[in-house]
Amino acid sequence: MRHATEAMVERWRDRDEISTPMDLASEFQRLTYEIVSRTVFSGALDDDRVRVHANMAIYFDTLGRIDLASVINLPTWVPTPANRRARPALKVFRGVVDRVVAARVADADRKVVDLLDRLMRAPDPTTGETLPPDAVSDNMLTFLAAGHETTGNALAWILYLLALYPGSESAVLEEMAAVFERGPMMRERFDRLVFTRAWSTRRCGSIRRRRSSAARRSKTTPSWSIRWRQGRRS
């Protein structure tokens, strides 16, 4: 994780125009994807990053939206416009993960070095059997999608919120400078980031509560009605 983060920061510093605005959401999506690729797949997904990101955007822009089909809880096999648009993206994800899993199955003598290795070799506590390749791929798809997309969004939101509160931003920067002494960020020092952790937990918790409240309202209110009212307010 640290190596991926250091590479990202170095990439930022090497930009031709430091003052040029950056798309932090995209940058953090790339960061968290690379971390998942390294820790879960030992870097086996690195070459697929651009293709996966492009299809991930399609996936969350379709199935990630609240519409009438999700409000009335239609089955996923119903060919709604969102489902039809998301299917090619899902096919890409499945193809990428299935390829990596198949390569691991063929390499029976490989040492256990990442989460995929552990999942493939973990025995069922009752039967003693290991997961079949299809079940392994299903689990890996969850790690790939939810594991990096939500974390990347959370990081982008944290920096956005910090920018809204200059006093808090200064306090975070001062605390980080004091804890890490302007050196590498060592994991064993993270517990000393008292203010930083408290602030980010509080702010992200506030976002989660607002999103949960909106989700609860959407269960009883058609999505077209919500968008219509939002349009009137804007």
Q: What is the pLDDT along the chain (234 residues), one digit of tens a residue?
A: 888 888 898 888 888 777 778 888 888 988 988 888 888 888 888 888 888 878 877 777 776 666 666 667 777 777 777 778 888 888 888 898 999 999 988 887 888 888 888 989 888 888 989 999 999 999 888 888 777 778 888 888 888 989 999 999 999 999 999 998 877 778 888 889 999 988 888 776 665 555 555 444 444 434 433 333 344 444
What would the 3-class secondary structure string for the chain be? CHHHHHHHHHHHHCCCCCCCCCCHHHHHHHHHHHHHHHHHHCCCCHHHHHHHHHHHHHHHHHCCCCCHHHHCCCCCCCCCHHHHHHHHHHHHHHHHHHHHHHHHHHCCCCCCCCHHHHHHHCCCCCCCCCCCHHHHHHHHHHHHHHHHHHHHHHHHHHHHHHHHCHHHHHHHHHHHHHHHCCCCCCHHHHHHCHHHHHHHHHHHHHHHHHHHHHHHHHHHCCHHHHHHHHHHHC
CA atoms of 148 and 152, how far apart (whole Å): 6
What are the structural domain ranges in the chain? 1-148, 165-234
Check residue 19 and give its pLDDT.
76
